[in-house]
Amino acid sequence: MTTLTTLKKLFPSLIEYNHDSITKIDENDYLWFSLDHTNIIGILHTELKEKDKQLLSTFLQPVQVNTPKQSAISERWHERIFSKKASEEMERFRFVYFHIDQLVVDHGLIVDVFEQLFSEEVPIMWVSHQEAIVVESVLADEEAMNYHQIIDVLIADVAVPITFFIGYFKTNDGDLQAYYEQLIETGRKIFSLTNDLVIDYFQAIPYLLLEDVDQLEREELVASVLGEFAGDEEMLQTLQTFLQFNLNVSETAKQLYMHRNSLQYRIDKFMNETNINIQSFDQAVVVQLALIANKMMENTKG
């Protein structure tokens, strides 16, 4: 008999933490414990005597799963979003959704990493225990934040797995609530379609379009465009990198640590065998869609 099964028999109110369960209850009514880094259970306070709490705390790790308290700067942004009153500020900003793929979370450490990398207090609006919206303000002459860098720091320093969905830049408050809500909804969806850790709004559009395409049509797209190369990881990486670096042979060769002539040989091989000119913008777009459809099919198989 597993630990979870035993505890369920002893405490009938026990629930397992997940997004669906947490939205149907008042999380403050429960005492929460971690079985491991991927499983959290909650038991109603009213069902636990003091000796039960002490015993459970001896064998299990007590955890907090309630949404963290917002900072003053985050509260101001929250009011700006939902009050529908236009702000006089005209800064350039974007919202960035992130999801922490871990139930036991030290929110303070995550906030510290953001403030360290941004060199200032950052508005973070917590949507739930594991997800939040960051507001990134960027002046015209400033460089936007590199979210791969944030991931590297979080993984290296605090071992927190995290994904980012980056919204587009705005300079006014028009439809700010819609922008906020859409980013959360799309952020939750996009990482079920790709295993990328960082993806921005424009990169996400092909995934969202292809999500509505029938599975058979995706398979036909992959077969007609990639052909026998659909399972050739080396060729797929070459094509993806070539597209990523805007069809620039020199930059792609440098990124792949290849000689320019070797890269050109691979590209020519693909074009000769598929009769698709990837160096033409229109046909390159089709190849990109096929590559994304192929990744989505691989994720489904996984």
pLDDT of residue 301: 65
Burial status of residue 191 (CB atoms within 10 A of its CB: 0-12, 13-18, 19 or more): buried
pLDDT: which is higher, 234 or 129 = 234
Mean pLDDT, the chain, whole residue set: 87
pLDDT of residue 299: 72
pLDDT of residue 82: 87
pLDDT band per the 50, 70, 90 thresholds, residue 140: low
Give the mean model confidence (pLDDT) for residues 265-291.
93
pLDDT 10s digits, 216-269: 999 999 999 999 999 899 999 999 999 989 999 999 999 999 999 999 999 999
Strand pairing partners for 104?
Answer: none
Contacts of 129 (CB under 8 A, 6+ apart): 22, 65, 66, 67, 68, 103, 105
pLDDT band per the 50, 70, 90 thresholds, residue 23: low
Strand pairing partners for 94?
Answer: 136
pLDDT of residue 69: 80
For residues 74 and 123, the answer to whether their CB atoms sit within 8 Å is yes
Contacts of 208 (CB under 8 A, 6+ apart): 186, 189, 190, 193
Mean pLDDT is lowest, of 57-66, 82-91, 94-103, for 82-91
Residue 241 in 3-state DSSP?
Answer: helix
Q: The pTM is what?
A: 0.77
Strand pairing partners for 126?
Answer: 132
CA-based nearest residue to 98, from 120, 74, 130: 130
Burial status of residue 119 (CB atoms within 10 A of its CB: 0-12, 13-18, 19 or more): exposed
pLDDT 10s digits, 64-82: 776 778 889 999 998 888 8
pLDDT band per the 50, 70, 90 thresholds, residue 154: confident
Residue 24 in 3-state DSSP?
Answer: coil
Structural domains in the chain plus CATH codes: 3-62 (no CATH), 72-205 (3.30.70.270), 213-301 (1.10.10.2840)
Amino acid at 252: T
pLDDT band per the 50, 70, 90 thresholds, residue 156: confident
How far CA 105 is from CA of 44, 47, 53, 156, in Å, comes to 21, 26, 21, 15
Give the mean model confidence (pLDDT) for residues 191-211.
91
**Predicted confidence (pLDDT) at residue 1 exceeds the cutoff of 80:** no
H/E stretch holding 36 reads strand 30-36
pLDDT of residue 87: 65
Give the mean model confidence (pLDDT) for residues 265-288.
93
pLDDT of residue 25: 74
pLDDT band per the 50, 70, 90 thresholds, residue 158: confident
End-to-end CA separation in angstroms for the chain: 30
Pairwise CA distance, residues 206 & 248, whole Å? 22
pLDDT band per the 50, 70, 90 thresholds, residue 155: confident
Q: Which residues of 55-72 are buried (b: 16+ CB within 10 A; e: fewer)?
A: ebeeebeebebebbebbe
Pairwise CA distance, residues 29 & 48, whole Å? 11
